[in-house]
């Protein structure tokens, strides 16, 4: 009989058998995500490397202790063995916020219905881009981030880390059909603006009326035909350099901040 080979911890499993104590948690590396997870009540356990130092690490330890979150010591090697990427000596086991589905989104109310801002992702597949989109949306004051369920990035540890914790603050809807969701938003009097490199109008022209939804397509193909046709307005970001386009997250950030202070009601 051949002895079973020890393959080490699975992704997301803590060293020494310290598995996240509650279902529905993921392991996220990085100091900023850990701070945001503590601040929003999403952290359920912290692992901090003994050789991790600095003001931010001390703040994480103190904040975690005040919140009553278990903090376990670990070595940097043990944190590396979690296979969750760069961790900066800190790993937080976190509960992800619940996402809205199609029905919940249709029932959702907006606190400021005449001034709301929504970001819509049509097929962003890279978790890093999803996280960066969430970070831009939250920073611009968006009320909601909408993304697809199928053929799109999910709310993974990589996405949470790339968002710098913004996904703990920003409500997310994962829908089956983006074009149908756009129609729901239009029924709620949203103006829907799609980012299209071939559009004749630019983001520098007359701002659209609020409430406003900004749609960005996938990294390679852009928006699907049905989503493009569902938009009220298509705009492009003028390019002065030799690179002909921005990635999805950068384009969304430019548009969000271009319209955040200019959109009319």
* Stretches in the chain below the pLDDT threshold 50: 1-14, 16, 19-21
Superfamily classification of domain 102-260: SPOUT methyltransferase, trefoil knot domain (3.40.1280.10)
Q: Tokens 């492009």 — which residue?
A: 236
Average pLDDT, the chain: 86
Q: Which helix H or strand E contains 18, and what residues bound it?
A: none
In this predicted structure, what is the pLDDT of residue 194? 96
Instruction: Give the number of other CB atoms < 10 A from CB of residue 73.
Output: 11
What does residue 254 show for φ and ψ, rounded to 5 degrees?
-60, -50
Contact 263, 209 (CB under 8 A): yes
In this predicted structure, what is the pLDDT of residue 245? 72
Domain boundary assignment for the chain = 15-95, 102-260
Task: Note the Cα 16 to chain centre separation in Å.
Answer: 30
In this predicted structure, what is the pLDDT of residue 12? 44
In this predicted structure, what is the pLDDT of residue 262? 61
pTM of full prediction above 0.95: no
For strands 117-122 and 144-148, give the pairing. Answer: parallel
* Fold (topology level) of 15-95: 60s Ribosomal Protein L30; Chain: A; (3.30.1330)
């Amino acid at each position: 009989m051949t002895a079973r080979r020890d393959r080490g911890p699975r992704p997301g499993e803590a060293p020494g058998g310290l598995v996240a104590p509650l279902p529905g948690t993921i392991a996220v590396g990085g100091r900023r995500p850990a701070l945001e997870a503590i601040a929003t009540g999403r952290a359920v356990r912290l692992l901090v490397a003994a050789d991790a130092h600095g003001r931010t690490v001390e703040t994480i330890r103190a904040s975690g202790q005040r919140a009553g979150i278990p903090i376990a010591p670990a070595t940097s090697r043990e944190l590396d063995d979690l296979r969750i990427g760069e961790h900066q000596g800190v790993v937080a086991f976190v509960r992800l916020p619940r996402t809205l589905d199609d029905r919940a989104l249709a029932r959702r109310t907006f606190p400021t219905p005449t001034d709301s801002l929504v970001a819509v992702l049509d097929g962003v597949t890279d978790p890093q881009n999803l996280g960066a989109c969430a970070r831009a949306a939250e920073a611009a004051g968006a009320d909601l981030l909408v993304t697809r369920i199928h053929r799109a990035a999910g709310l993974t540890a990589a996405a949470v880390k790339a968002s710098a914790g913004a996904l703990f603050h920003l409500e997310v809807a994962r829908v089956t059909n983006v074009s149908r969701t756009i129609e729901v938003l239009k029924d709620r009097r949203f103006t829907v603006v799609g980012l299209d490199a071939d559009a004749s109008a630019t983001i520098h022209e007359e701002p659209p009326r609020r409430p406003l939804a900004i749609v960005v397509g996938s990294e390679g193909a852009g928006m699907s035909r049905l989503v493009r046709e569902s938009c009220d307005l298509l705009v492009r970001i003028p390019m002065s350099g030799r690179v002909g386009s921005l990635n999805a997250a950068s384009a969304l950030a430019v548009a969000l901040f271009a319209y955040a202070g200019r959109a009319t009601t």
